[in-house]
Structures are given as structure tokens and as C-alpha cells.
Amino acid sequence: MLRVGDVAPGFELVSHTGERINLEKLRGRYVVLFFYPKDGSPGCTRENCLLRDNFEKFEKLGAVTLGISRDSVESHKRFAEKHGFTHHLLSDPSGEVVKAYGAAGLFGITKRITYVIDPEGRVAKIIQSINPSTHVSEALKTLETISSSEASRTES
């Protein structure tokens, strides 16, 4: 299991848009990784809809938001189109990234875990909760706190 301060494991996965997303190429920005169990399930739909609804807030705070599950690119594409998602849904069918981030659960089901990764590629926050809303609100709160403390430092 990763801990706060650890270097986030690198990866390159395909998005529902067909784009290849490489974590290392996102250095210099905050990255919020939302691991979730299954496209279309009630909790996962709620979490991804909350991401969509708060997309501009994440962007304003300088964060890239990425959802990751073991579902196929095609499944992600249908899920994203149905709900109008603006964030990338990344497909990890082999489960290698899911395992690297400690999100592998029993029977191959992905656990709901969120990581906030800082611009240097280190884990800044880990959010584990059954409640999908907690993941979005805690990630935003973390980014807002970081943003406030960075603003305070530059004013001093």
C-alpha cells in the first residue's frame, strides 16, 4: 500500500477518448487518481458525475482528474458518452496499475481509492471511503488547502 510522501508509480493507460495518458508527462501539475470498481454501477456513476460537475473547480486548482478501473476502453467510452464526462476514464484491464496503487480487492474488484499526487509525483493525500461523495469533496478540500498554503508562502 502506498503512503503519503511515496513516489506515485508511473503508468501509461488508454483513455476512453483513445488518448494514451502517461503519468510522468503530467509532472508539474496536481493529478487526482480516482480508482473505482465498475462503469455504470450506482456508486461509480455518482462519483464520476460528481467529478464531471466539479471538473472546473479541479482545473482551477491546477489538477488533472483521472478515473481508473479495469473496464475496457469501449465500456469507458459508452459510460462517458452517456453521462457527458469531461475527465479521462483510463482502462487498466490487466489490473497492473490497480495493483501498484493498492486498489486491487477480492475477486478482481477494484477498491474505491483516490490519490492526490503533487507536481513532483509524490502522493500528497490518500482517500479511502465507501461513500463516493467523500472522494470528490476530500480531493477538492486537499487541493484548496494546498493552494491556500502556497498562496500564503508567496505572499510572505
Return the active site residues: 44
Question: What is the chain's Cα-based Rg?
Answer: 15
Which residue type sits at 45?
Answer: T
Rounded Cα distance, 143 and 126, in Å: 12
The answer to whether residues 1 and 34 touch, using CB atoms and an 8 Å cutoff, is no
The answer to whether residues 92 and 13 touch, using CB atoms and an 8 Å cutoff, is yes
